[in-house]
C-alpha cells in the first residue's frame, strides 16, 4: 500500500504509468505530473474503470474510502459507474425541474388563453413572492411547511387576497408537475383552511347622489390637482373604462373623426379589442389634452418619463386626498352602471360597454345585435349629457324604457 509521502513524491515520466495501492485501486500518473485515482472492477462479467478523484484534492484516505464504498455497491450488485451516471442525471434533472422552471413552463402553457393583463399579474406575483423563497428548490422537494412559510410572509403584509391567489396558482403548478412526472403530490393542497380569511374589499364606488358635488369639485381651481390629472379623471367618469386602460391610453388608439377609442386586445382584461364611443364631452377633454401630450405616444404619460404611463396611484390619490371622496377610480364603473340602469338603459348594453364578455346564456337573444354599437353610441352621449346636467344643477328625469 502506498503512503501519502510516496504518492506526493511520484515523479512524472515521459509516458503515463500506474502505481497500485490495493483492492483494485491505483494511481494513474501522467507526463504532465497530474495524478488520478482509479478503481478497476468487474461486474456482470465485464471489466470496468471508475474515477475516484484527482490527487492532491483527494488524498489517499479519501480515495480508499471511495474505493471501499464502490466495492460495497459491487457486492450488492450495483454498478458504481452506472450509479454515478444516474445520480448526475438526477441532479441535472432536479436543477432543470426547480419550482421556478416548472412554474414558468406552466405559465407559458396557459398564457395563450389568459388575457395579457391576467398573465402579467400571475407572473409578477410568482416573481415577487414565490421565486425568491422557493424558486431554486426542486419542485419535488417543496414541502407544505415551506409553502406555508412563504404564504405567512405575504399575510404579514396584509395581502390576504394575494396569499389566497398565490396558493391557488401554486396548486395548479404542482398539479401540472404531477401530470408531467416532475413530482408526486400537491403540497399546496395541504394549505386549504390554513390561510387567513380576508374581509371582502370592494372597490369603493361614488354614490350617484354625490356625482354633482364630485364633478363641481373636479373643476374647482382651489383644489390642488395637476391639470392633466383633472382631465384624466374627467375622461374616467365619461368613459368608465378600467383605470389601467385609461392610464396607458395611446393617441394612436383614438379616431376623433369617428368619435371612437379602440383599446387593443393586449391592453384589455378580456383579451378582446374594446371600442369606446366618445361623447362630445369626451372629445372636448381630448382636445384640451392634445396641446399638452399630443406630441407624444401616451395621453397620460408619467411626469418626467414620457414613455411610461401615469402611475396607478395617481387617480386614486387625487380622488381621495385632494377631492376628499373615499372612493376609487375603478368605482366609477359601478357608479355609471347603477346610474345608467336608473336612466332606463338595458343591462346588456351597459355590460358590453363595460368591456365584459357577453354572457350568452343570459343575453343569447341579442346575439344578432353584434356589439350593439348604435345603442352604445347613444348611451355614451346620453351619459355625457347627464353628467353635464348634474354638474350644472339641472333637474334630471330618468328616461325609463327610452333606451330599449
- Select which of 164, 333, 376, 386 is catalytic: 333
Q: Annotated catalytic residue: which of 40, 121, 269, 288?
A: 269
pTM: 0.55
Q: What pLDDT, in 10s, does the model give residues 148-200?
A: 999 999 988 888 888 888 999 999 999 999 999 888 999 998 887 777 765 54
Which grid cell is 52? 475516484
Lowest mean pLDDT, pick from 97-111, 301-315, 346-360: 346-360
Is residue 269 among the annotated active site residues? yes
Burial, 266: exposed, middle or buried (Cβ in 10 Å; 0-12, 13-18, 19+)? exposed
Q: What cell was used for 42?
A: 468487474
Exactly one of 67, 107, 247, 330 is catalytic; name it: 330
User: Given this model, what pLDDT does residue 171 score?
Assistant: 93
Q: If residue 47 lies in a helix (H) or strand (E), which one and from where to where?
A: strand 46-55
**Residue 386 annotated among the catalytic residues of the structure:** no
Active site (annotated) includes residue 88: no
Which SS3 state, helix, strand or coil, does residue 289 take? helix
Average pLDDT value for residue range 57-73? 93
* Torsion-angle region of 240 (φ positive above 0: left; ψ -120 to 50: alpha; else: beta): left
- Mean pLDDT on 373-395: 91
Mean local confidence (pLDDT), 321-332: 92
Q: For position 44, what pLDDT does the model report? A: 83
The pLDDT value given to residue 88: 77
Q: What's the pLDDT tens digit per position in 127-139?
A: 999 999 999 898 9
pLDDT-derived band of residue 91, with 50, 70 and 90 as boundaries?
low
Residue 356 annotated as catalytic = yes
* Residue carrying the nine cell digits 391576467: 118
How distant, in Å, are the alpha carbons of 27, 328, 348, 368 from that of 372? 85, 28, 9, 9
| 335-367 per-position pLDDT tens digit | 999 999 999 999 889 989 998 755 443 333 333
List, in order of start, the domains of the chain with CATH numbers. 4-78 (3.30.160.390), 99-191 (1.10.150.130), 208-392 (1.10.443.10)
Catalytic residue flag (residue 333): yes
Tell me which of 71, 203, 366, 377 is the catalytic residue. 366
Residue 272 pLDDT: 80
Query: Can you tell me whether residue 264 is helix, strand or coil?
Result: coil
Helix (H) / strand (E) element for 165: namely helix 160-179
Contacts of 198 (CB under 8 A, 6+ apart): 160, 161, 164
The mean pLDDT value for 44-53 works out to: 90
Out of 65, 196, 356, 360, the active site residue is 356
Amino acid at each position: 500500500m502506498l503512503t501519502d509521502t510516496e504518492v506526493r513524491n511520484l515523479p512524472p515520466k515521459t509516458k503515463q504509468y500506474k502505481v497500485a495501492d490495493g483492492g483494485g485501486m491505483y494511481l494513474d500518473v501522467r507526463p504532465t505530473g497530474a495524478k488520478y485515482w482509479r478503481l478497476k472492477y468487474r461486474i456482470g462479467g465485464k471489466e470496468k474503470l471508475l474515477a475516484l478523484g484527482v490527487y492532491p484534492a483527494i488524498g489517499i484516505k479519501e480515495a480508499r474510502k471511495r474505493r471501499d464504498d464502490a466495492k460495497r455497491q459491487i457486492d450488492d450488485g450495483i454498478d458504481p459507474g452506472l450509479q454515478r451516471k444516474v445520480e448526475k442525471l438526477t441532479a441535472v434533472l432536479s436543477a432543470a425541474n426547480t419550482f421556478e422552471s416548472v412554474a414558468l413552463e406552466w405559465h407559458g402553457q396557459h398564457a395563450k388563453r389568459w388575457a395579457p393583463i391576467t398573465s402579467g399579474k400571475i407572473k409578477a406575483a410568482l416573481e415577487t413572492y414565490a421565486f425568491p423563497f422557493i424558486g431554486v428548490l426542486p419542485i419535488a422537494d417543496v414541502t407544505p411547511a415551506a409553502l406555508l412559510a412563504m404564504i405567512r410572509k405575504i399575510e404579514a403584509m396584509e395581502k390576504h387576497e394575494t396569499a389566497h391567489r398565490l396558493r391557488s396558482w401554486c396548486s395548479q403548478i404542482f398539479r401540472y408537475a404531477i401530470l408531467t412526472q416532475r413530482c408526486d403530490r400537491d403540497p399546496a393542497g395541504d394549505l386549504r383552511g390554513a390561510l387567513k380569511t380576508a374581509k371582502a374589499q370592494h372597490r369603493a364606488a361614488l354614490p350617484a347622489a354625490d356625482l354633482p358635488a364630485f364633478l363641481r369639485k373636479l373643476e374647482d381651481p382651489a383644489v390642488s390637482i395637476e391639470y392633466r390629472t383633472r382631465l384624466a379623471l374627467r375622461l374616467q367618469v365619461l368613459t368608465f373604462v378600467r383605470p389601467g386602460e385609461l392610464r396607458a391610453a395611446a393617441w394612436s388608439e383614438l379616431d376623433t373623426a369617428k368619435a371612437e377609442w379602440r383599446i387593443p386586445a393586449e391592453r384589455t382584461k378580456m383579451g378582446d379589442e374594446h371600442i369606446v364611443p366618445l361623447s362630445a364631452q369626451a372629445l372636448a377633454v381630448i382636445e384640451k389634452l392634445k396641446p399638452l401630450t399630443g406630441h407624444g405616444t401616451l395621453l397620460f404619460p408619467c411626469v418626467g418619463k414620457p414613455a411610461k404611463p401615469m402611475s396607478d396611484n395617481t387617480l386614486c390619490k387625487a380622488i381621495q386626498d385632494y377631492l376628499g371622496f373615499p372612493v376609487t377610480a375603478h368605482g366609477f364603473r359601478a357608479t355609471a352602471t347603477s346610474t345608467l340602469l336608473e336612466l332606463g338603459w338595458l343591462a346588456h348594453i351597459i355590460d358590453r360597454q363595460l368591456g365584459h364578455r357577453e354572457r350568452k346564456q343570459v343575453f343569447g337573444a341579442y346575439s344578432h345585435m353584434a356589439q350593439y354599437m348604435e345603442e352604445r353610441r347613444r348611451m355614451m352621449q346620453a351619459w355625457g349629457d347627464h353628467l353635464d346636467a348634474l354638474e350644472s344643477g339641472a333637474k334630471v328625469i330618468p328616461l325609463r324604457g327610452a333606451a330599449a
